[in-house]
């Protein structure tokens, strides 16, 4: 059965800390993995990963994919209160199927 698991479910840290969010998957015919940030309404796209070992970076956020071990991590350095959100992982796989993880709720304490 195809599945996407995110961990932790919830994370509370202080401003300035670095966090690592994990997304593990078990799917057939993997195509790509996407990270989103969801604050109020629709999730906002962050990264799309298709190849192992190539880090995608945007400011304080970075992400990398390991297709051998079937997971991706999303790193946020020097966290700010504006980083508080739910972070979603989505995996695209065979036959145009899509699966979202349950998300990680990140709370940054000032």
- Per DSSP, the residues of the chain read --EEEEE-SEEEEETT--EEEEEEEE-SS--EEEEEEESSSSPEEEEEE-STT--EEETTEEEEEETTTTEEEEEE-S--GGG-EEEEEEEEETTTEEEE---EEEEEE-
Query: Judged by CB under 8 A, does residue 42 bind another protein?
Result: yes
By CB under 8 A, what part of segment 76-95 binds another protein?
86, 88, 90
The stretch among 14-22, 30-38, 64-72, 75-83 that binds another protein (CB under 8 A) is: 30-38
Query: Judged by CB under 8 A, does residue 96 bind another protein?
Result: yes
Residue ranges that bind another protein, judged by CB under 8 A:
9, 34, 36, 38, 41-45, 48, 86, 88, 90, 96-100, 102-103, 105
């Amino acid at each position: 059965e195809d599945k996407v698991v995110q961990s932790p479910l919830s994370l509370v840290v202080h401003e300035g800390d670095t966090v690592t969010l994990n997304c593990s998957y078990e799917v057939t015919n993997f195509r790509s993995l996407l990270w989103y940030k969801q604050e109020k309404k629709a999730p906002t796209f962050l990264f799309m990963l298709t190849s192992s070992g190539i880090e995608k970076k945007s400011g304080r956020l970075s992400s990398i994919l390991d297709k051998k071990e079937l997971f991706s991590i999303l790193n946020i350095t020097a966290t700010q209160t504006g980083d508080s959100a739910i972070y979603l992982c989505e995996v695209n796989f065979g036959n145009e199927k899509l699966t979202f993880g349950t998300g990680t709720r990140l709370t940054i304490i000032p």
